[in-house]
Structure 1
Amino acid sequence: MNTFIRFLKNWTLPIGMTCGVMGFMAFHYIPQLSPIKPEAQQTAEFLMPTVLFVMLLSTFCKVNPHDMRLTRWHVWLILFQMLSCLAIAMFLHFLPSFSHALHAEGLMICLVCPTAGAAAVITGKLGGSETSLTTYTILSNLAAAIIIPLVFPMVEKHTETSFLCQFLTILRRVFPLLIFPLLIAWGLRVFFPKAHAAVVRHTGGLAFYLWGFGLTLSVGQTCRYLVDSPVSTHLKWLLSLVSLVACAMQFFIGKTVGAAYGERIGGGQGLGQKNTIFAIWVSYTYLSPVLSVAPGTYIIWQNLFNSWQLWRKEKQSGKKPKRQ
């Protein structure tokens, strides 16, 4: 039994991804499951935000609001997120006939996409600061809400609504599941300290396993996006390659900048682990449904890398000599 639990602990993310792919394939290729396919999709769409809310609540209960503060690595990575998006948008604005415009737009979406709320979970598992990463996650989402309505009309001019309307629309999309659990966690800490202590004491690694289950749901949805997309196979592969480059680049830059301030893990997860479901929505809303392939495959690359990081950490921990 202990061996099974240890295996599950070490391979939660790969198992979650595999289950997501297998679940999608079952509903896609087995005709007998077709009658319950709509209900299964509705259930997944309901469970995804619910699981994320509970996961973030248990994580944020461990975050002391007095320890949340802006640091230099936050500023540098936010600047990279915003300026890289602006640079690509300006390039496409002045060169609208660029032959690889779609690929550039896919890269732009992967770069401007804010940090996933669950990034704090992986950061804590890897030994980084969940508090510092939580601060950065809020800043990253706010930066995306500002830069997207400002910059994306330079690329696609069909958006007629005002900046304020677009800004509020994005905030409504990303902030409820990020801010509400944070406020509830802080409320428990201040007004119900015993309940707060019980949550911290009994949840333990719950957030990580909830993230594994949530990954099953999100990978299944991603597979559906990819298969239903009317994009040619050649373009899908190219956009997948773009997202792979973006993923590798952002983890590298994030870790490099973070290491300069003693936050290598937080920097890497903050810049590299993205809210890809939000990025898919941005693709459909502001640019083109075709581009959803880039953030759709990004979730695969980032979680393959996360799985490798967790495996390496577990392996290194197992090599440490036991204390006498």
Structure 2
Amino acid sequence: MKKVIEFLKNWTLPCSIVSGAAIYYIFAMVPALDGVGRAMSPVFDQALPWFLFVILFVTFCKIDYSKMRPARWHLYTSLAQVVMVVVVVFSIIYFDLRGPHRVLMECVLTCIIGPCAAASAVVTAKLGGSLESMTTYTFMSNVLTAVMIPIAFPLLEHGASLPFWHMLWLILLKVCAVLVVPMGLAYGVRRWLPRLSGAIAGVPDLGFYLWGCSLSIVSGITMRNIMHAHTTATFLVATAVVSFVLCVIQFSVGRNIGRYMGASTEAGQGLGQKNTGFAIWVASAYLTPLATVGPGCYILWQNLVNSLELWQHRRMEKKHHD
């Protein structure tokens, strides 16, 4: 039993992915459970944002707010994201892509233009990076995305031709709900209820394991979206492969940028770990429903990359102690 617990601790993210996908598959394939699965589906959809809220609140209780300030890697990582977005949008328009090729490129776009995941601070802290610097970049990344989407999407889809300020306002409202509210609450608890804040911050890896639970839900939802995608197996495989390559590229580019500024871990997570739930929302709302398959696959790849990073970090720590 001790070995099982240790295995689950070391490989929390892959176990969460596999368990979430397996549970959904069982409920989807067993006729007797189909009714229960249909009833629970909207419950899990509603529970996920609350999970994220609690995860961020717990994480923000550990932040030293006086250390939150812009850094050089923030600028260069943001520029890299902008350049990649411009290249993809220009390619779609210049080559006048249509049909599956256009949808595939829109999948790529949603995986690039999406903001840094709010939960990336959790992994960064586990990897020994700066929690405060990562949180600062998360805010900057979300604001940058809020500006880029109203500019880029109307160029691609007529359905996205909402006024710039209207789209900007809708996106900023979501950013506020996801980031600003839990941070404000955590700041208030740290200031006026220090004992409660200390007790929350004192629980080892609480935010990380809560994130593992939310990832299990995300994996089940992703499996549902992929299985119900009205497209061919060839397109699904192509999207999975392209999103994997893109995931590796973004993590690698981020790490290489950060390597010259003493922030390899932070920049890698900042550019590579995306808020895929947000990406899925904007793709379904302003592009095409099939474009949600890209960020759906990206969820799995980025968490596998995170798992490998954590494994490597544990191995290096073990060598250091030995």
Distance 1:200 1:281 in 2: 32
Q: Which runs of 5+ in 1 are unaligned?
A: none
Q: C-alpha offsets along residues 270-313 of structure 1, whole Å, 9 cap, x if unaligned?
A: 11111111111121111111111111100111111111111122
- Matched residue type, 1:289: P
- Matched residue type, 1:285: A
Distance 1:194 1:182 in 2: 17
Pick closer, same or farther for the CA change 1:38–1:98 going to 2, 3 Å.
closer
In terms of mean alpha carbon deviation, does 143-152 or 84-93 score higher? 84-93
Q: Indicate yes or no: 2:191 matched with 1:195.
A: no
Distance 1:250 1:97 in 2: 23
Q: How does 1:214-225 map to 2 (within 5 A)?
A: 214-225=214-225
Residue in 2 that maps onto 1:87: 87
CA contact (8 A) 2:24 2:223 kept: yes
Distance 2:207 2:220 in 1: 20
Distance 2:173 2:211 in 1: 22
Residue in 1 that maps onto 2:252: 252
CA contact (8 A) 2:159 2:287 kept: no
Residue in 2 that maps onto 1:62: 62
Number of residue pairs matched by the alignment = 321
Q: CA deviation at 1:4?
A: 3.5
Q: C-alpha offsets along residues 32-77 of structure 1, whole Å, 9 cap, x if unaligned?
A: 1112123211221232112111111111111111101111100111
Q: CA deviation at 1:14?
A: 1.1
Q: Which runs of 5+ in 2 are unaligned?
A: none
- Matched residue type, 2:118: G
Residue in 2 that maps onto 1:156: 157
CA contact (8 A) 1:48 1:218 kept: yes
CA contact (8 A) 1:239 1:294 kept: yes
Residue in 2 that maps onto 1:119: 120
CA contact (8 A) 1:257 1:264 kept: yes
Residue in 2 that maps onto 1:16: 16
CA contact (8 A) 2:160 2:287 kept: no
In terms of mean alpha carbon deviation, does 264-273 or 174-183 score higher? 174-183
CA contact (8 A) 1:20 1:220 kept: yes
Distance 2:118 2:251 in 1: 16
Q: CA deviation at 1:119?
A: 0.6
Aligned residues with identical type, % of pairs: 37
Residue in 2 that maps onto 1:182: 183
- Matched residue type, 1:309: E
CA contact (8 A) 1:174 1:278 kept: no
Distance 1:174 1:239 in 2: 27
Q: C-alpha offsets along residues 76-96 of structure 1, whole Å, 9 cap, x if unaligned?
A: 111222232123213322332
Q: CA deviation at 1:314?
A: 1.6
Q: TM-score, normalised by structure 1?
A: 0.94
Secondary structure of 1:158's counterpart equals helix
Distance 1:87 1:101 in 2: 14
- Matched residue type, 2:188: G
CA contact (8 A) 2:68 2:136 kept: yes
Q: C-alpha offsets along residues 134-178 of structure 1, whole Å, 9 cap, x if unaligned?
A: 111111111111100111111112323211111111122333121
CA contact (8 A) 1:90 1:154 kept: no
Secondary structure of 1:128's counterpart equals coil
Distance 1:198 1:321 in 2: 28
CA contact (8 A) 1:239 1:291 kept: no
- Matched residue type, 1:103: L
CA contact (8 A) 1:85 1:111 kept: yes
Residue in 2 that maps onto 1:129: 130
Q: C-alpha offsets along residues 213-251 of structure 1, whole Å, 9 cap, x if unaligned?
A: 111000100001101010111111111111111101100
Residue in 2 that maps onto 1:165: 166
In terms of mean alpha carbon deviation, does 33-42 or 178-187 score higher? 33-42
Q: C-alpha offsets along residues 13-37 of structure 1, whole Å, 9 cap, x if unaligned?
A: 1110111111110111011111212
Distance 1:170 1:75 in 2: 21
Residue in 2 that maps onto 1:262: 262
Q: TM-score, normalised by structure 2?
A: 0.95
Residue in 2 that maps onto 1:103: 104
Residue in 2 that maps onto 1:71: 71
Pick closer, same or farther for the CA change 1:199–1:37 going to 2, 3 Å.
same
Residue in 2 that maps onto 1:213: 213
Residue in 1 that maps onto 2:276: 276
Distance 2:216 2:186 in 1: 26
- Matched residue type, 2:137: Y
- Matched residue type, 2:104: H
Residue in 1 that maps onto 2:288: 288
In terms of mean alpha carbon deviation, does 163-172 or 96-105 score higher? 96-105
